[in-house]
Amino acid sequence: MRRIISRLKPLWLVLVFFGATLGVLSLFGAVPGFVEALPSLVVIAMIALGVVLSAVHPKASEHEPHMMAAPVRGRWAALNTPGQQLPSHGSRFLGQYAAIDILQPTTAETPPKVQKGWRNSPPQKYPCFGAPVYAMADGVVTGAWSGARDHRARNTWQGLIYMMTLEGMIRSVAGRGAILGNHVIVAHDDGTAAVYAHLRMRSLRVEIGQRVSAGEQLGEVGNTGNSSEPHLHVHLMDRANPYAAAGLKMAWEDIDRPGEIEPSLKEIARGPAPNAVRSMPRNGEIFEV
């Protein structure tokens, strides 16, 4: 039942979006006549139903992390990681219960996380933009999209507020492509599947139906979808359809962890929660492949 409800997530989010829109319109006395004719309790019930059902997602039974090859090469830092806590992104939506975001350590030219001004930084300013992304295991490509443009970072206060409110809500309703941006989904031979998200526009080297091997390049890191700056988002699921999938824990078998913290992520670096995947880097931790 959870999987059926989860498949209809866009519908439930439409109800929530509808309610939020009515709230804004009511402030200006611009609620449409056909809505005013509905009993208030009916409208409230629709919104409440949307909120409750949009929070229902599949759950996997307890398991050991699946061992995978790392999807990048070189020196990287982790954030929103299962090495810190679960669910790592605060949600099980789209099977991302144990997702991880990674980016390359900052340089002297890297824009700050938040800066004053009206214009957000272009993606080309970030060191990981265009870095190769590799398959974590053997499998078949079941999803691929590369038509979304790489947008600017959300590294001004107004950019962050926009992303966390209006933009985030619109992307949630618009569907997985609006959230994941350019992405690849690979169904593995063992029945699991991996999502590689926020990839660079037109960087994909694979297509649906193509068989790939662990270590084969899939595309490049970009800044598409619901992304505040260029980075790779990757997560493992128990099936290839993100709307119906439960997130699975994974660990990378080929990484070194020298014990360093990325300076720009120092504020979120702390000890892992009791349910964290200890074999994965925690927030702010640098790892090498």
CA atoms of 65 and 13, how far apart (whole Å): 31
CATH of 66-288, one of 3.30.1300.10, 2.70.70.10, 3.90.25.10, 1.10.3720.10: 2.70.70.10
What is residue 165's predicted lDDT score, i.e. its pLDDT? 83
Is residue 48's pLDDT more than 70? yes
What is residue 162's predicted lDDT score, i.e. its pLDDT? 85
Q: Rounded to two decimals, what is the model's pTM?
A: 0.87
What percent of the chain clears pLDDT 70, i.e. is strictly above it? Answer: 83
With b meaning 16 or more CB within 10 Å and e meaning fewer, what string describes 168-180? eeebbbeebbbbb
CA atoms of 148 and 181, how far apart (whole Å): 6
What is residue 230's predicted lDDT score, i.e. its pLDDT? 98
**What value, to the nearest 5°, has the Cα angle with vertex 135 and ends 237 and 76?**
95
Residues 118-144: tens digit of each pLDDT: 899 999 999 999 999 999 999 999 999
C-alpha distances out from residue 23 to 26, 43, 251, Å: 5, 11, 44
Q: Is the CB of residue 77 less than 8 Å from the CB of residue 102?
A: yes
What is residue 236's predicted lDDT score, i.e. its pLDDT? 98
C-alpha distances out from residue 225 to 24, 77, 109, 163, 174, Å: 25, 20, 24, 11, 11
What is residue 160's predicted lDDT score, i.e. its pLDDT? 85
Containing 180, the helix (H) or strand (E) segment is: helix 176-180
What is residue 21's predicted lDDT score, i.e. its pLDDT? 72
pLDDT level of residue 33 (50, 70, 90 thresholds): low
CA atoms of 71 and 245, how far apart (whole Å): 21
Is residue 20's pLDDT more than 90? no
**What's the one-letter identity of residue 241?**
N
More confident site: 25 or 63: 63
